[in-house]
Amino acid sequence: MPTRVELGVWRSFLRAHARITRVLEAELIAEQRLSLAAYDVLVQLAETPSMRMRMTELADAVLLSRSGVTRLVDRLERAGLVGRERADGDGRGIVAVLTPLGAERLRSASATHLAGVAEHFGESFGPGELEAFGRTCDRLAADDVYP
């Protein structure tokens, strides 16, 4: 069982994550009419050399279920931000592809999102705290900790 301190810090971490996520989402929707999840899909695609990912890999990268990412990509495809293609060498696999319009929309939305990250997250840390927090998060997120 967690100690009282561990449980308190865990709850504080969850509240902080929820608050920052809500604020960043609200800013993206208000200024860019784009959800945080949609922004994340565009970022994940843009960060690949080919601007494309298999739908299963995309679901894992954005922490959504496969059906959730399918519905989100459906909406992004209707908006012209993402396309779908058959995976090379696999007649059953589908890849999501970032369109030029999607890349343009991502550039615009990034200004809003990154300013929000700096303001609501980065500015909350004192000297040395951010690096220490990053190391802790890296340790918690490592695949070898919780396979």
Q: 42: alpha, beta or left, given left = phi > 0 and alpha = psi -120 to 50?
A: alpha
Residue 92 in 3-state DSSP? Answer: strand
Residue 130 has pLDDT above 60, yes or no: yes
What is the pLDDT confidence band of residue 86, given thresholds at 50, 70 and 90? confident
Report the mean per-residue pLDDT for the chain. Answer: 92
3: left (phi over 0), alpha (psi -120 to 50) or beta: beta
Whole-number pLDDT of residue 17? 94
Q: Which helix (H) or strand (E) holds 90?
A: strand 90-98
% of the chain residues with pLDDT over 90: 82
Q: What is the CA radius of gyration of the chain?
A: 18
pTM above the 0.95 mark? Answer: no
